Amino acid sequence: MQSHAEFRQDRVNAFVCNVIDDNLSENINPSSVDVVTLIFMLSAVSPKKMSLILQNIKSVLKPNGYVLLRDYAVGDFAQVKLQDRNQMIGDDFYVRGDGTCSFYFSEDFLSTLFLEAGFNTIDISVYCKQIKNRSRDIKMDRRWIRAIFNKFNSNAPDSALS
């Protein structure tokens, strides 16, 4: 990215990071980020490590900063196929044929995960869509979860942490 002709270091802070092990605050000022997007990212991580990611993200978010998430939901067609192939490695957690992992979120699991990490749930819902593959003559019920969370503002009098 940095080698691209239009890259501007004064506008983009590009760096490689393992968000589980690397401290984001080493590359991003603490409490300086307004919004973090997690798009089909959290599902690739073991549920045991998800809280580490959220704490890392929380360290760079401003008070009342937001996390926007879109990921796989429980009951998705891909989860059903993985379950049928006996590829489960934990509750709602599977290993795919290529060796990558995939977790499927329920609204309760996701909201509890974020609440325990110090976030309020602003909005959460599951989007369902049936996709038809005419060449293979199959219908796939796809399910994705989308959510908006914000960091507890520890300075506000009505904060959950006060």
Enumerate domains of the chain plus CATH numbers: 33-151 (3.40.50.150)
pLDDT, tens digit, 9 for 90 and up, residues 63-85:
999 999 999 999 999 999 999 99
What is the sign of the dihedral through the CA atoms of 9, 13, 17 and 23? Answer: positive
Tokens of 160: 């959950």
pTM: 0.86
The encoded tokens of residue 51 equal 């809280």
Chain-centre distance for alpha carbon 37: 8
Enumerate residue ranges in the chain where pLDDT < 50. 156-162
Sheet of strand 93-95: strand arrangement: 88-90, 93-95, 101-103
The model's pLDDT over 19-35, given as tens digits with 9 standing for 90+, comes to: 999 999 999 999 999 99
DSSP 51-79: HHHHHHHHHHEEEEEEEEEEEEBTT-HHH
